[in-house]
Structure 1
Amino acid sequence: MASRLPAFALFPLASWRDQLLADEWATLLDAWVALINSHLSLSDADFISVSAKDESLSTFLISFTRETAQNGVGILGTSSSAKRLLRDCYQLITKLLQSSSPPSSLAQWDFLSDVSTVYGKKKTSILLDVLSESSRSYLETSLAGLKKFLVKNLDAGLSGGDLNGIQSRLEQVNNLIHASPFVAEYFLAGSDFIDGLISCYKITNPPLRRSLISTLYVCLIGLADSQKIGPLTDHLYSLKAAADTHKTGPLNVNDSLVAELVTSTPLLQQLQRKLDVSTSTRTTSVISSLAAFKKPTSSTLFPAKPKRLIRRKIDKGKGLVSFDQAAENQEIHVHRLSSISQVQDLFPELGSGFISKLLDEYHDSTEDVIAHLLDDSLPPHLSSLDRSEDLAPVKPPIRRHSSLVPRPTPPHLSPILPPTDNDDDLALLTGNLHLGKKPGNADALLRDKSTAPAKAAILSALAAFDSDDDERDDTYDAADVGGTVDTSLGDEILPDGAEALLYRSYQAEPALFSRDSKSRSGPDRLKLKQETGMTDEQIEGWAVMLQRDANLQKRLQRRYGEWTGEQTQLERTGWVAGDEDTDGDGSGPSRGGFRGGRGRGGGNKGRGGRSGGRGGGQQGDSGPQDDAARRRKEANKGSRANHNRRDQRAKKMARGGFAG
């Protein structure tokens, strides 16, 4: 009977699953569950001879874990058959890896990484602890090949290293390292792996840097979980030595793997909590010395996830309800709902009822609840509960009398705010806010120089101010228009150090930013993409916005240009006589020239001949007296008529001339 078991069908890809109807999918789930139960019901001898040698069974398990790891267990649905399939697959994998002759394809690091992603740290740790000798031998062989590949390409870096392959493999194996201290010890055996991580971090892009930091963090935590104090201390000292060497080098002090590791991850706090109280003084001192490398600002590789806004219907209490002591005891205050929402932001799959029981266990401490959930170290009476349990709704009956019972004020919980780039502003909002009248008077506040801005900050602001900026049209500047200007290519979205590389490359070779296939495939463009972590479209778009924005060009010139701070020429901004026409018509630089064929001389007050114009073409304005006379003439123009012109016309008409 056992030899006549049908073969397994592969778990379908997303493109095939979308074409299946609901009834067809339910039939597939039931068929897989029935077939898995048939294999599990076999005797040990039949299981080894039939199930362990069934290639279709191994292929199905590999495809099943690969799809669920990439897309989540939600692709199975919410039916009972889906839950049974997930549970039975775990039992079948465990039984196969415990057997004396397990399939070699199931004892590989990539398959076990997918298993850890689907089933979590706790179940995967149990599975890895019961591996047979054959399964463990297959696993060590696959890990040896993976470590060899990683060390070789990490050392090569940009000089022939497969950076994309490094990133994809590290992101996949991190779940296995997190679930198994044995795998963490294997990777940290010797110093070649950590040396490769440190050397590759200096020259790689931000996405790969995040993977390097995550891998080193889970490896060190794995040593702490297995209480390997000696190797852990040696690795911490090697990290400190690498950080000291980087600090004395030409590169930025904060652009170091160790600085990012202790700033963006809770490594030091987890090590102090996981290690025994009998830890040697050597380990304690190196942990304290690593704390000195924390960066003053928050991490740029691991931006904080914005807090999700949860809309809840607020009960205003306007209905008629009766006083029920049991309902009053079950009432959830605002501070408990806030704590539940904070935990659900990190663990959205947990129900509110389960989180409420965790808060009762740890005395409303959200930090302790999150720490125990991350470490999967809940007590047995809590870990066995249903994690999707929600709070039971309270049905309020009719209230017969008032329930205005005095209640204590809920305790104030400091909100968990996401880290910002401007920690000083955050401290100002959260710590230096004073309510009420401050002691002292205005004179005392003016004499207190502790809160006064630094002189360097004032000089820096004055240096950035351009006094001649009003000579141009600033109608569409971002400072004047405000939110209507598209600032999507601002400094805040560029990777760390990318702006300086882009600007200096643009100053050296503007053709590097051209939108053509030759520029995109050139070695200089490829090197710029690897150094900045940006795509071709982002690099070319940055250059276009730089050409359109004069203010951005000035700002980048001041920030990254070659200006030494010396000003060799100072242009005057005041008006000086002789620069332009004093009549204000802008017709010429001097009054001494001709205007309309006739000049007006300042030195000769008489009238010259027709050929010389007025004043005979003599010198122009000679001094303040002519200016004063001119002003008096212009002021009195409207007070008298030009009788001379009228008399000349009368004489012309008397001689027999014609009008016009």
Structure 2
Amino acid sequence: MAGLPPFTSFPTAEVRNVILPTQWDLYVESTTSLTDLYLQSSDQDFLSAVQHGTSLQDFLTSFFHELARNPTLSPSLLPLRRKAFVLLHRIWSSNTVPTNLLEWSFVSNVCRSYPKNEQRRSLLKLIWSREGSRLEKSLQLAKDSAIKLLDSKNPDNVENILDSLGPLLKYSTEAGEFMLTGSDFFDSLGSAYPKVSPNIQRKLVITAYLGLTSLVNGPKPKFSLLSDYLYGLKTSAEQAQKRKETEKTYVADLVTNTPLVERIRAASSGTEGARLKNIVSSLATYHQEGIARPKKIIRRKVDKGKGKATGEEHNNEGFGEFHVHRMSLVTQVQDLFPDLGPGFVIKLLDEYNDNVELVTAHLLEDSLPPHLATADRSEPLPQTSTPAYSHLPPRSTPPPAYERRNKYDNDELDNLTVDTSRLHIGRKNQQLTADNILSDRSNAPKKSSILAALAAFDLDDDERDDTYDVEDVGGTIDSAAPGPDGADADLQDKNEEALFRAFAMSADVFGRDAETRRGKARAILKSETGMTDEAIEGWAVMMTREPRRLRRLEAKYATFSGQQRELASTAYRGSPAESGDEGKSDAQRGGRGGHSGRGRGRGRGRGGGNVAGSNEEKSTQVSRQRKEANKGSRANHNRRDQRARKMARGGLAG
């Protein structure tokens, strides 16, 4: 940026009175924009504008001077007021601060312009810590001038200096400590008290109170210095009593009309504050109720407009039309400021378009326009004898100040640009039935698309796996991957078979470590399939997660050709517990029953006959007789032993 444009001085009250409203708004808008430009500039350009030009300094000096003298400027200055504070903060935070921006009168105007700004106190501490010597040099001139006027024959001329010192002493403890360093200023306040008017007496007392309390409000309270001042006040009060002075004294006014005693008692603690408490207790005896100034306490019944309405609708000059919604806004303001009358609150709402937050902000900052600042704040609602009813038809409560917004704002229907042929009442096609819809083939899908969808459907898979689609993984899969149709489908089957063969041989080929990726097996697999490492590893992950898919691939790429050259034996083999019989078959051991004759050899007698043989053979008849003869002797009593032998052959415990 080559250079920042210069500021112009803020116009005085006389100039503002002759400026047209449109010109005034244009000036405020341009000055606010220029302030933004300075705040957004670089440090080099900003410091150059501060050091080599005086336009910015002149603007801040004149602006804070007018703002301190007339706090009820137009609400349009609120943005400029905030940005001017930020601009001053940037200047005071720099290494080189212009001298005219460290004058005590300028600092006092800043304090008066922002009475309720919390950042103002921290900014004052910052500038005192960095430029304290220069501030004290400027404040020493004000101190000498005030002492000279207080000790003169006409001490009433000190009023302007006291008015400017008040905000500075109130918000800056460092300034109060400096003014009370040395007793000449404090003594001059007491000596000038009986010579001035009551109004100046009140300002002298307030100045002394602010200076004394600053000694205990700082980070390091100066109890010793405060004790000396309080002891001097006590001595002067005792001498006035000895002289039997009946007039109001300086000490009595200070103790009665200021909370000096309570503040010092609350701040004093420990051994250092013991002596201070004794002196404060002795000063409390000079409290005189007769000289106490009346406090402006307004206690009146708040009229919220809930009584019987007796007036008709107000005209524009008398607060506008009154509604229930507006009454709720009045109640919100009166909850925070109960001393305000409803009529005055309605004027505020008219001024700020029913914005309660803006009304509250101006009331707290005491920045109302002149015509409202001088108005009667206890003004009630106007009462007339006209009937309560209105000649106008009933109407609904007006909506709140904000505007309702939704997604249909400014659409073609909202802007009345929609085609009327698209508008209808009720169902669009009331004569249309389900049969008509089904018979209408204009919007029906084609047969080819239905067959293509059925061909892509896999009965063995519940849902298509889209984990490694290009749209989902963000391009980590090769965009040149084979497609589902034609030659691409053959290539995909070939890649799938190669992957499956490798997976069946060794799953270690699909590892995710760097050593596996650089291995020979992975390189062969990549050259065979043309896939990346991420795609190959992702395929293996999905195989472990989908057993059904793995079984389908096993069935698809099995090597069985339909011919079986060798039939494996399925006969029972003896257990290792029977050593020497592991390789023998049932036929070699004499059947399932062994030598006992059970199983396939059951019924064959000792003579070789068979109970199942022909009835004509003699051996069969002998075997049958022997069986019936010995059946009762053997029966099934040896079943347990036979079971034990059988279990031993199977390798199980008996």
TM-score (norm 1): 0.46
Larger Cα Rg: Structure 1 or Structure 2?
2
Q: TM-score, normalised by structure 2?
A: 0.46
